[in-house]
Every structure is written in structure tokens, then in C-alpha cells.
A and B are shown apart, each in its own frame.
Chain A
Amino acid sequence: MNKKLVYLAPLILLAVMMWFLVRGLSLNPRDVPSPLVGKPAPEFTLPLLNQPGKTFSTKDKLGQVWLFNVWASWCSGCRTEHENLVYMKRTGRFDIVGMDYKDHDADAKNWLNTLGNPYEMVAVDRQGDVGIDWGVYGVPETFVVDKKGIIRYKYTGPITPEGINNILLPLVEKLEAES
């Protein structure tokens, strides 16, 4: 009995290592968990793209559930995502603030004019400093912020219809029910 166990040990060891390997292969390396989930959204005040002289501040959104979508006209993933954002806007269920990340104003305006504007407002982060504060490493990225100003979810990559129906809509409904 004991001897059998000794012969089985390497096999068991191999199985454990294989498990780690297979698991590692099926992970998406771009899905870096954000340490900001559960923490207060980093505060900022930025100028608005379409309303010269006006600014957007995270404080303005306290008491509301909102989505913070980081995008840029040079980002191909954002183009894929855009029609889904427009759809979200049409449902009237989402309050989306956009942030134009390291972009040129003219390109961004052109983008919104041709593809439609799903945003309540668009803040402009030309240097990418606010992006760093929010831990942005690849656009598009979308954060869900609750009424208390806490980041509750980070959606990395282009939003898909499945993502809207399975993740974002249920989450926003849940957060709106919170006091």
C-alpha cells in the first residue's frame, strides 16, 4: 500500500502541475484585475470636448450611478465598441461619461459627429494623467461608479451586447436600488 503510494506520487505531482499549466493557458493576460474596484473613484476636473470653458468633475456625479468610458479616436477597439455604446444610450438606462484619452480634439469631434454621440458629456485628458490615476492601460476601458462615488466594476476592452445584457445592465440596476 505504502509502496504504491510512492509510485503514484510523481503522477499526482504531474497532474497538479498540468492543472496549473492548463489554467494558465486559458487565462486572458490582458485581464489585469484593477485594484481600484471597491475604492473611491479618483477625483479629477477636466475640460469638456463640446462645451468650451466648461469642465466636468467627478464630484458632479455623486448620488448617481454612472459609467466612465475611456476612449480615443485612434483606438480600433473603440470603433467596435461604439455602436454598442450608442445602443446603451438609446435604452435610456445608462448614464455614460466619456473621456477622450490622449487624442486630438478635432479627431474626437469628427468621430462623434460621424458615429453618433452616446455620452452625456466628454471630458478631455490630453496628457493621459487622469488615465494613469484610473489605472488605464489600454483603451477602451469602462468603469461603473456607484452613488457614493465608489468604483464597483471595471470592464476591460470593447463592450459587447453580451457584456451589456449579462454584466452592465444587471449591475447598474442593482446599484440604482442601493441607497
Chain B
Amino acid sequence: MKKALLLLLLLMAPGAQAAIETHQFDTPEQEAHYEKLIKELRCLVCQNQNLADSNADLAKDLRRQTYEQVKKGKTEDQVVDYMVARYGDFVRYKPAFKPLTWALWLGPFVILAFGLIVLMRFVRSRQTEPDNEIDEEKLKKARELLGDN
């Protein structure tokens, strides 16, 4: 009885009643495109969420737009282009690779390469430390001192 009551209370929690959007797709591919797109597109109202996670009104509208376009048979690129034309590159969580974003995409690799070069030079400089070549004369003197003839 207690368990049943608890279950009832849990079901009445606001989270459990959150609307779940249901969309009908013609093919599983379309559904996959849709799911991928709403994860890659940013909600501009709550800026650190994607369209999939956001409950903002605008996110709902943009999900609807995405759904309608996917359903019409638009490709992923076409939908992304549609959003970028209106909201700018900011709408993409995965920025395009273009001159403006070169630093963003390549920067980490440049820094990594720089670090590797510095590391290699450091390691090498330790390896090439001069061998302790003792000249003959000093060796002779040492032997004499040690009395080991």
C-alpha cells in the first residue's frame, strides 16, 4: 500500500508530466537525422543547451522547423544552412571549418605540436651532455695518487 502511494506521488511529480513530443517519421533515417540535428543545434535563448534539451519556446519552434524540414526530405546540411542563415554560426555546436574558425580547430594541435617540440629538444639536450672523457694526464695523476701501479 505504501509503495503504491509512493509510486502515485512520484508519478504526480511535475517532471513526470513534462510533455514529450512525438514525431512521426517516414523512415528510421529521417528520425536519426532529426535526433542528430537537434543535438547539434544550439538554443539561442538558454545558450548552453541544445535544441534537444531545451524547453524554451523558441527551442520548441526550432524543433518543429527541424522536424518539418527533415520530413520534407531536406539533408542535414540543408537544415543546418537554414538555421545558420537566420541565426548565424552561433547556432551550431560544431562550428564550420573556415578561415574564421581555423584557430579554433587547429589551435589545440598547434599547441600540442609546439609542446612536443619543446619536450623533444629538452630530452635531447639531456642525452647529448658531453661524455666524461678524462684526459690521459689526469688519469695518470689519479693512478699515481691511488698508488695503483
A interface residues with partner B (beta carbon < 8 Å) = 29-30, 32-36, 102, 127-129, 131-135, 137-138
Can you list 20 A-B pairs with a CB-CB distance of less than 8 A? A29-B47, A30-B47, A32-B44, A32-B87, A33-B90, A35-B84, A35-B86, A35-B88, A36-B85, A36-B86, A128-B61, A129-B61, A132-B61, A132-B62, A133-B86, A135-B87, A135-B88, A137-B58, A138-B44, A138-B45
Shortest beta-carbon distance from A143 to chain B in Å: 13
Give the secondary structure class of B's interface. Answer: helix
Rounded to whole angstroms, the CA-CA distance of A135 and B85 in the bound complex is: 8
Shortest beta-carbon distance from B90 to chain A in Å: 5
Considering only residues 36-67 of chain B, those with a C-beta below 8 Å from chain A are 44-45, 47, 57-58, 61-62, 65
Closest to B61 in A: A128
Closest to B65 in A: A132
Q: Give chain A residues whose Cβ lies under 8 Å from the Cβ of B58.
A: 128, 137-138
B interface residues with partner A (beta carbon < 8 Å) = 44-45, 47, 57-58, 61-62, 65, 84-90
Give the secondary structure class of A's interface. Answer: loop
A102 touches B57 (CB 8 A): yes
Q: From A29, A102, A135, name the one whose CB has the most chain B CB atoms within 10 angstroms.
A: A135
B88 touches A137 (CB 8 A): no
Rounded to whole angstroms, the CA-CA distance of A32 and B47 in the bound complex is: 10
B86 touches A132 (CB 8 A): yes
A-B residue pairs, 9 tightest by C-beta: A137-B44, A135-B86, A35-B88, A32-B90, A135-B87, A128-B61, A137-B58, A29-B47, A138-B45
